C-alpha cells in the first residue's frame, strides 16, 4: 500500500471518527446520566441529515440548515424525554430501551414517508467544493472543514462539561443523581436538557455527513451499532472516552477498509467485545 492511500485512509478515519465522537457524546451523556441506551439516537442523526437537505435546497441554505438541524432535532429530543421517557424512570430501564426502539421504527418510517425510500446524493457548498493538495495526498476541502468544525464543537462540549457550573451538575448527576437531587437541584430538568442536547449533537453530526455520504432512510439504523461501540469502548458517561472511542472506531474502520474491506465492520465489533470483556468500564470510564 502506498503512502497516499494510507494518508487518505487515516484522514477519512479522522473525519468519520469526529462525527462518531459527536454522536457518541450525546449517547454517552444520556446513557450515563439517565441510564438509557437510546436506540432512537441513530434516527435522530438521520433526521438531522434530512432537515439539512430540505433546508439547503430551500431558502435557508446550507449554513442555516446546519443550525436548523441542530435546533430542530434538539427540540424533538427534548419533547421525547418530556412526553414519553419521563414516564418510565420509575420502571425498569429495559422498558425505556424498548420505547426508544419503537420511536426509532416510527421515525425511520416517517422519513421514508416524507422524503421517499431512495438514496439521495448531495454536493458540498460551492465555498468548499474541490480539494486541496496536502503534499502526501489530494483531499476534499469539505471533509477537512468537517473535521475541523466537528473538532471545535467536540472541544466546546468538553469545555462546557468540564468548566461550567451546569456541566458540573451533569457530571455530578452521572456520579450520583439522587445526591444531586437532595442538594436541591431540579434533576428532571437537567435530564430534559441533556437529552435535548444529545439529540441535537446527533442531528448536527447527521447534517455534517450529508455531503460526505449522501442520504438514505436507513442511515440511522446503520450508524447506531457503531455509536454504541464508541460509547461502550470509551466508557459510559465519559466525554473524553466518547471522543477517544469515536476516533479509534473511525480510524480502525477506515484502515481496515483499505487493508481488507470485508473484515472492516467485523473488526469494529470484535474490538468492542474485547474492550467490554477486558475493561468493562471503558477506556476512560469510571464505573
Partner 1 sequence: MGRQRPLLRLAALIGATILLPILVRPVVAAEIWIFAVAAMALNLIFGYTGMLSFGQATFFGVAAYTAGLMMIHWKAGLLVCLLAGIVVGALTAAVIGYFCIQRLGIYFIMLTFCFNQMFFFVAYKWTSVTGGDDGLPGIPRPPLALGPLSIPLNTSLRYYVFVAVVFLVLFYAMKRIVESPLGLIFQSIRENPSRAAAVGYDVKRFKWIAFTIAGAFTGLAGVLYSMMFGIVPLEVISWVTSGDIVFMVLIGGIGHLYGPLIGAAAFKWLSEAVSVLWERWPLILGVALVLVVLFLRGGLVEALARLRLALARRRLAAGAGAESA
Instruction: Give the span between the Cα atoms of 51 and 68, in whole angstroms.
Output: 7
CA separation for the pair 169, 166 (Å, rounded): 5
Query: Is residue 283 near partner 1 by the rule CB under 8 A?
Result: no
Least CB distance from residue 179 to partner 1, whole Å? Answer: 20
Interacting residue with partner 1 among 6, 60, 79, 84 (CB under 8 A): 84
User: Whole-number minimum distance, CB 221 to partner 1, in Å?
Assistant: 7
Beta-bridge partners for 131: 140
User: Which residues between 186 and 225 bind partner 1 (CB under 8 A)?
Assistant: 221, 225
CB atoms within 10 A of CB 53: 21
Cα(56)–Cα(71) distance, integer angstroms: 15
**How many angstroms separate the CA atoms of 225 and 227, rounded?**
5
Among 5, 129, 155, 270, binds partner 1 (CB under 8 A): 270
Is residue 227 within 8 A of residue 27, CB to CB? The reply is yes
Number of residues that bind partner 1 (CB under 8 A): 41
Smallest separation, CB 14 to partner 1 (Å): 23
Among all chains, which residue has been given the C-alpha cell 438531522?
Answer: 48
Would you count residue 229 as binding partner 1 (CB under 8 A)?
A: yes
Contact between 168 and partner 1 by CB under 8 A: the answer reads no
Place of cell 449554513: 63
**Closer residue to partner 1, CB minimum distance, 157 or 236:** 236
Residue 132 DSSP SS3: strand
72 or 227: whose CB is closer to partner 1?
227
Rg (CA), the chain: 19
112 or 129: whose CB is closer to partner 1? 112
Cβ 20 to partner 1 shortest distance, Å: 15
Residues 244-263, mask of contacts with partner 1 (x by CB under 8 A): ------------------xx
Q: How many CB atoms lie within 10 A of CB 157?
A: 21
61 or 102: CB nearest partner 1: 102
Is the CB of 63 or the CB of 95 nearer to partner 1? 95
d(CA 227, CA 219): 12
Subset of 14-43 contacting partner 1 (CB under 8 A): 31, 35, 37
Determine the interface stretch with partner 1 among 6-14, 48-56, 86-94, 123-131 (rule: CB under 8 A).
86-94
Grid cell at residue 163: 468548566
Query: Look-up: residue for cell 436548523?
Result: 68
Residues 91-130, mask of contacts with partner 1 (x by CB under 8 A): x-xxx-xxx-xxxxxx-xxx-xx-----------------
Helix (H) or strand (E) holding 140: strand 138-140
DSSP 8-state class, residue 216: -
Q: How far apart are CA 242 and CA 238, in angstroms?
A: 6
Cell numbers standing for residue 118: 431512495
Site for partner 1, rule CB under 8 A = 31, 35, 37, 84, 87-88, 91, 93-95, 97-99, 101-106, 108-110, 112-113, 221, 225, 228-229, 232, 236, 262-263, 265-266, 269-270, 272-273, 276-277, 280
Amino acid at each position: 500500500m502506498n503512502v497516499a492511500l494510507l494518508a487518505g485512509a487515516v484522514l477519512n478515519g479522522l473525519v468519520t471518527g469526529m462525527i462518531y465522537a459527536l454522536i457518541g457524546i450525546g449517547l454517552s451523556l444520556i446513557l450515563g446520566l439517565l441510564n438509557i441506551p437510546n436506540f432512537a439516537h441513530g434516527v435522530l442523526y438521520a433526521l438531522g441529515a434530512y432537515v439539512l437537505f430540505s433546508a439547503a435546497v430551500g431558502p435557508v441554505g446550507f449554513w442555516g440548515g446546519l443550525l436548523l438541524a441542530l435546533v430542530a432535532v434538539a427540540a424533538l429530543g427534548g419533547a421525547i424525554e418530556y412526553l414519553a421517557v419521563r414516564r418510565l424512570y420509575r420502571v425498569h430501564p429495559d422498558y425505556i430501551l424498548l420505547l426508544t426502539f419503537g420511536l426509532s421504527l416510527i421515525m425511520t418510517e416517517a422519513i421514508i414517508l416524507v422524503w421517499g425510500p431512495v438514496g439521495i446524493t448531495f454536493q458540498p457548498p460551492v465555498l468548499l467544493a474541490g480539494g486541496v493538495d496536502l503534499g502526501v495526498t489530494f483531499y476534499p476541502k469539505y471533509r477537512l472543514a468537517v473535521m475541523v468544525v466537528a473538532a471545535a464543537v467536540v472541544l466546546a462540549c468538553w469545555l462546557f462539561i468540564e468548566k461550567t457550573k451546569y456541566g458540573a451538575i451533569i457530571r455530578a448527576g452521572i456520579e450520583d443523581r439522587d445526591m444531586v437531587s437532595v442538594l436541591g437541584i431540579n434533576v428532571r430538568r437537567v435530564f430534559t436538557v441533556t437529552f435535548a442536547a444529545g439529540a441535537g449533537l446527533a442531528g448536527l453530526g447527521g447534517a455534517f455527513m450529508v455531503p460526505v455520504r449522501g442520504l438514505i432512510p436507513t442511515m440511522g439504523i446503520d450508524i447506531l451499532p457503531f455509536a454504541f461501540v464508541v460509547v461502550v469502548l470509551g466508557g459510559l458517561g465519559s466525554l473524553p472516552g466518547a471522543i477517544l472511542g469515536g476516533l479509534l472506531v473511525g480510524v480502525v474502520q477506515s484502515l481496515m477498509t483499505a487493508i481488507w474491506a470485508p473484515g472492516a465492520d467485523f473488526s469494529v465489533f470484535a474490538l468492542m467485545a474485547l474492550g467490554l470483556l477486558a475493561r468493562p468500564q471503558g477506556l476512560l470510564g469510571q464505573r
